[in-house]
Amino acid sequence: MRRLYEMHGQGRSIRAIARELSVARNTVRRYLRADGVPKPKSRPRRPSQIDPYKPYIEGRLAEGLENCEVLLREIRAMGYAGGRTILKEFVQPLRRPLEPKATRRFETQPGEQAQVDFGFFRYQTPDGRTRSIWAFVMVLSWSRAIYVEFIEKADSASFIRCHLNAFAHFGGVPKVGLYDNAKVVVLGRDDAGEVVLNPKFLDFARRVGMEIRLCRPYRAQTKGRVESGVKYVRNNFWPSARFTDLGELNRQAMEWCISVADMRVHGTTLERPGDQLLRERAMLGAVPPASRVADLVREDRQVGRDGFVQWQRAWYGVPWRWAGTSVQLEPKADVITIWAEGERIAVHPHASRPGQRLRVPGQWTGLRQGDGRPRREALAVQVADVTVERRPLAVYEALAGVVS
């Protein structure tokens, strides 16, 4: 309103000032009579669609979740019908400040490289106990397509099995696998300072036709795509994961990979990883037949004196003559196969609950008790083989008359 006061100082009339400024004469009078610049009356704030969800969002932010994509997914499940922008405007001033980081980026060709890493996750069971689990994450460097699988034990057999599942998901094998210095890949260095690779994993890589390449120690930035992939899983998938067993968790992870991670527009490539994977798949090597690596995905297990092998908090039976020996357990999507000395000795479905004991048919057949008698299971088999003669009812009626 500086112009209004200048015109008034020049002796202009209220009518002239109002006409030139296109305002009402009463407005001009109000400004001229006021001690200072008049302030507009405060209007009542209009309610926002996000208001009912602010306490929930603030609680999630206090827990460390700042990813708006996850928050949007969660509050929409609660009934939120607003957009992403309102949520971001509310969250932005509440976020913790980030320190800028810089590194040099290297791009690869389609089918050339996959980056692999493990992430460590903790969760609470319904009874309040804290458990730990590993996430295997493989990212194709060109397309940024991602594969995630959760496992309870980060050993060589599980690591190799996760690779095979990832190759099947992607539809092929990359030329190079980039890894850090984890024990499942690197055992250490010899006296000359040369890297000593894990022989079992090296054997696997040679069988599938993939070169092993290591990132520089303490320089995880050289494996930046999968490092970002683990962070993406932790921030985008894990906060909303709800599961009762490992199979359910992995089903949710696969659905997330396909419908969320690979369908987003990647911030670097500006393409959807799922679309890029369709182009990259033709440049990947052929997935080897299962028979070529079957022996490498079997886990060594010790059979207890009771004739059961433990795997993932359940127990699987084998014939009693293998009690106390070492066997190889091969878990697949639908069954658990147990081998000994190259012979398949038992096949079980997956246990449906922790602590379950699954017996193999005839598990104790032929085993004698301490007093020399056959075990009850063996007796049951023998009785089942007895043939019982069937007679007409008239015979029994005649016998009843004689007795009476």
Q: What is the pLDDT of residues 271-293, one digit of tens each?
A: 999 999 999 999 999 998 988 88
Domain ranges of the chain: 2-33, 51-94, 113-291, 298-363
Assess whether pLDDT exceeds 60 at residue 340.
Answer: yes
| Mean pLDDT within 214-226 | 57
Give the integer Cα–Cα distance in Å for 247 and 349.
Answer: 13
From 123-127, 201-205, 269-273, the region with the lowest mean pLDDT: 123-127
Task: Supply the pLDDT for residue 375.
Answer: 55
Assess whether pLDDT exceeds 80 at residue 75.
Answer: yes
Contact between residue 91 and residue 57 where contact means Cβ atoms under 8 Å apart: yes
Task: Supply the pLDDT for residue 282.
Answer: 94
Task: Supply the pLDDT for residue 404.
Answer: 43
Indicate the average pLDDT of the chain. 83
End-to-end CA separation in angstroms for the chain: 127
From 1-5, 111-115, 170-174, 341-345, the region with the lowest mean pLDDT: 1-5
Residue of 392 and 73 predicted with greater confidence: 73
Assess whether pLDDT exceeds 80 at residue 99.
Answer: no
Task: Supply the pLDDT for residue 393.
Answer: 58
3-state helix/strand/coil string of 264-333: CCCCCCCCCHHHHHHHHHHHCECCCCHHHHHHHHCEEEECCCCCEEEECCEEEECCHHHCCCEEEEEECC
| Mean pLDDT within 221-241 | 77
How many residues in the chain? 404
Give the integer Cα–Cα distance in Å for 272 and 274.
Answer: 5
| Mean pLDDT within 287-309 | 88
Question: In which element (H, E) is residue 69 found?
Answer: helix 68-77
Residue of 385 and 175 predicted with greater confidence: 175
How confident is residue 254, by pLDDT bands cut at 50, 70 and 90?
very high
Residue of 348 and 353 predicted with greater confidence: 348
Assess whether pLDDT exceeds 80 at residue 390.
Answer: no
At residue 248's C-alpha, the angle toward residues 244 and 252, to 5°, is: 120
Give the integer Cα–Cα distance in Å for 244 and 229.
Answer: 24
Assess whether pLDDT exceeds 60 at residue 29.
Answer: yes
pLDDT of 160-173, one tens digit each? Answer: 999 999 999 999 99
pLDDT of 354-386, one tens digit each? Answer: 889 999 888 888 887 654 555 555 434 333 333
Sequence-ordered list of residues with C-beta below 8 angstroms from that of 188, at least 6 positions apart, any chain: 196
Task: Supply the pLDDT for residue 380.
Answer: 40
| Mean pLDDT within 56-62 | 88
pTM (global) more than 0.85 = no
Class of domain 113-291: alpha beta
